[in-house]
Structure formats: C-alpha cells, structure tokens
C-alpha cells in the first residue's frame, strides 16, 4: 500500500524559507512522477513542481520558478520542496502526490491524474 507523508510546513515571514519533506513507502514502480501541489480554500488544487524519478528531471510552475527546488533522496525514498523567497501568495496547504509515469511529460499532469496523495502540510507566509 502506497503511503505518502508530508512534513515541514509552518509559519514564516515573507522572504523566509521552508523545506517540505515527503516520505514515500510501498511504491510499486521505479519510474514515476512525484509532485507537490498546493491549495487554498475555495480554489482549485494547483500544481507546483514535479520530479521524474526515472531520470531526475524537474519541472516548475512559473509562479515558483527560481524560488522553489524539488529534489529526491532515492536511497531514503524521500522527496523535498525547498522554498525560498516565500511570498504571502504562497500560503496554502501543500500536498505531496505520486503517479506512475513512463514519460517525463506526464509529470505536469493535473491533480486528477495523480493516484497517490499525502494528507497535506500547511504553509503560512505573513507579509
């Protein structure tokens, strides 16, 4: 059974940094996309960043490019989102998600194409 568990959320001031972690277990596939999404109440879940575990390629939404970095520690089955230069508009619940993917382009898929989800971790940025 696949399980994804996020940690690392919290409250920071604008300009600060946070690192989110996602512990993945029970994953049956080696080639997959691991992504971070975020959601604020009343809005759709937004894709933030993804990494293709088959080759390590990374992808970012324009809104976070240059500020956020997604990475993996394959040995530990851990995924991370380093968030620097945080802005008030980054405030959201952040979710780790995963899906089988034989092609890298599938990593930028919308939420309904991701099969596995964590419970979410809250990030609050005050201005």
- Dist. CA 98–CA 118, nearest whole Å: 9
Position 30 scores a pLDDT of 66
Asked if 87 and 14 touch (Cβ cutoff 8 Å), the reply is yes
Q: What is the pLDDT of residue 29?
A: 64
Per-residue pLDDT of the chain (127 residues; tens, 9 = 90+): 889 999 999 999 999 999 999 999 887 666 689 999 999 999 999 999 999 988 889 999 999 999 999 999 988 999 999 999 999 999 999 999 999 888 888 999 999 999 999 999 999 999 9
DSSP letters for 26-61: S---SSEEEEEEEE-TTS--EEEEEEETTT--EEE-
**Whole-angstrom distance, CA of residue 39 vs CA of residue 100:** 22
3-class SS of residue 8: coil
């Amino acid at each position: 059974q696949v399980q994804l568990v996020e940690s690392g959320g919290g409250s920071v001031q604008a300009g600060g940094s946070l690192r989110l972690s996602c512990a993945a277990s029970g994953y049956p596939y080696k080639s997959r996309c691991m992504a971070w999404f975020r959601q604020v109440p009343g809005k759709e879940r937004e894709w933030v960043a993804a990494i293709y575990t088959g080759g390590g390629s990374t992808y970012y939404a324009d809104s976070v490019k240059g500020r956020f970095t997604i990475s993996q520690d394959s040995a530990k089955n851990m995924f991370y989102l380093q968030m620097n230069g945080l802005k008030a508009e980054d405030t959201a619940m952040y979710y780790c998600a995963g899906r089988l993917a034989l092609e890298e382009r599938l990593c930028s898929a919308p939420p309904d194409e991701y099969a596995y989800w964590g419970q979410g971790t809250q990030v609050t940025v005050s201005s």
